[in-house]
Structures are given as C-alpha cells and as structure tokens.
Amino acid sequence: MNPLFLLILILSGGLYLAGHYLQKPVLKYTFKPFTTILILFFAFMQLPEVSVHYKVLILIGLLLSLFGDVFLLWPEKGFVTGLVAFLMAHVAFIFAIISNFGPYTDW
C-alpha cells in the first residue's frame, strides 16, 4: 500500500471527525463522502487476488455505503433512503462473504 495514500485517507477521516465535533458543516459534508470514496479505492486496490465476483460484491457494498453516507448527511430528507442503501450494502457484503467466491472458500 502506498504510504501517501494511507496518509491522505487518515487525514480525510480526521478532517471529517474535526468537522463533526467542531460543528463545521463544510468539513463534514466534504470529507465524509471523500473518506468513503478513498476507502472504496483502497478496497479496489487491495483485492487483486480474489475472484472478480467477490470483488464486485464488496465494491457494490462499499458504493451503496457511500450512497447511504451521503443521504444521511441530510437526515430530515434522506434518512429512509440512506437506511435502504445501507441495508442493500449489507446484503451485498453477506452475499460476498457466504459465496464460494471469497478468499476463505475452505471453511
């Protein structure tokens, strides 16, 4: 893993947390989705040895989690939509884990 990428990921997450606790909406609304996008790219780069099917399901789950994060930034309007996105993400993760296409097919 590229140390610069890891540093950017940690800084992005830290800026989101700072925005949340300091009540700075610009930081919060910028770095929450950006951090999730970085995690998605991190997962994409870390999964070369697994099957395409497993990788696609994990990436779909992370993408749906990104949608859930974005919708939940405005809970008054996007709560139910965000909740549904997270539910669908978890379904994708479950299918990836229980499928025979994952990295742990021997158990």
> ∠ CA(82), CA(10), CA(86), 5° rounding?
15
Task: Give the pLDDT band of residue 89 (cuts 50, 70, 90).
Answer: very high
pTM assigned to the model: 0.81
- Does residue 103 contact residue 49 with C-beta atoms inside 8 Å? yes
Q: Tell me the C-alpha to C-alpha distance, in Å, between residue 96 and each of 46, 47, 60, 64, 103.
A: 15, 13, 10, 14, 10
Average pLDDT value for the chain: 88
pLDDT in tens, 59-81: 999 999 999 999 998 889 999 99
Task: Give the pLDDT band of residue 90 (cuts 50, 70, 90).
Answer: very high
pLDDT in tens, 28-48: 999 999 999 999 988 888 756
